């Protein structure tokens, strides 16, 4: 078993990998970041289980030409085989040819609860809140 620094590093890494999976449209990779019965509390509603989480992520992102979930300001508190983390995201959404602008940025916080599994740390629950938005909201309209 590694040090507390190792656990923090693995959790920060997982948060980044989830962002990479979202932005590369790797839906299996998105799902693999969560335990099967994970809960995702989103400003627009509560998702229960990996299938709902992956479906919502796909629906939100697949209409876009590109997205980038830049993550920073990560803090992690490890308590044995569970952990909590707080991270800031700044998510850029790109849809080319949108009238009045191709970009819409949404920024906020991911507050995650984690559990150590045989395959590494996985998210049990994520609560996403918004902090600011900028650009053309039509980019994310469906």
Where along the sequence are the contacts to a copy of itself (CB under 8 A)? 2-10, 12-13, 15-17, 19-20, 23, 66-76, 86-88, 90, 92, 94, 103, 107-108, 131-132, 134
Which one, 16 or 49, has the nearer CB to a copy of itself? Answer: 16
Q: What is the DSSP letter of 102?
A: S
Nearest C-alpha neighbor of 12 from the set 87, 124, 99: 87
Which one, 10 or 124, has the nearer CB to a copy of itself? Answer: 10
Q: In the complex, what is the shortest distance from the CB of residue 48 to a copy of itself, in angstroms, rounded to a whole number?
A: 26
Tell me the C-alpha distance between 107 and 133, whole Å.
6
Tell me the C-alpha distance between 106 and 134, whole Å.
7
Q: In the complex, what is the shortest distance from the CB of residue 86 to a copy of itself, in angstroms, rounded to a whole number?
A: 6
Which one, 77 or 117, has the nearer CB to a copy of itself? Answer: 77
CA 96 to chain centre: 23
Tell me the C-alpha distance between 81 and 129, whole Å.
26
Which one, 15 or 38, has the nearer CB to a copy of itself? Answer: 15
> Is the Cβ–Cβ distance between 110 and 86 less than 8 Å?
yes
Q: In the complex, what is the shortest distance from the CB of residue 130 to a copy of itself, in angstroms, rounded to a whole number?
A: 9
Q: In the complex, what is the shortest distance from the CB of residue 65 to a copy of itself, in angstroms, rounded to a whole number?
A: 9
């Amino acid at each position: 078993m590694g040090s507390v620094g190792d656990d923090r590093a693995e959790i920060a890494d997982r948060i980044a990998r989830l962002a990479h999976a979202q932005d590369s449209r790797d839906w299996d990779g998105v799902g693999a970041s969560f335990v099967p019965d994970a809960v995702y509390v989103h400003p627009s509603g509560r998702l229960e289980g990996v299938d709902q989480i992956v479906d919502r992520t796909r629906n939100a992102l697949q209409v876009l030409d590109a997205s980038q979930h830049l993550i920073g300001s990560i803090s992690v508190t490890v308590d044995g085989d569970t952990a909590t983390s707080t991270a800031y995201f700044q998510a850029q959404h790109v849809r080319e040819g949108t009238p009045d602008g191709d970009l819409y940025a949404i920024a906020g916080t991911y507050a995650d609860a984690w559990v150590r599994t045989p395959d590494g740390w996985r998210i049990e629950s994520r609560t996403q809140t918004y902090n600011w938005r900028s650009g053309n909201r039509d980019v994310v309209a469906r």
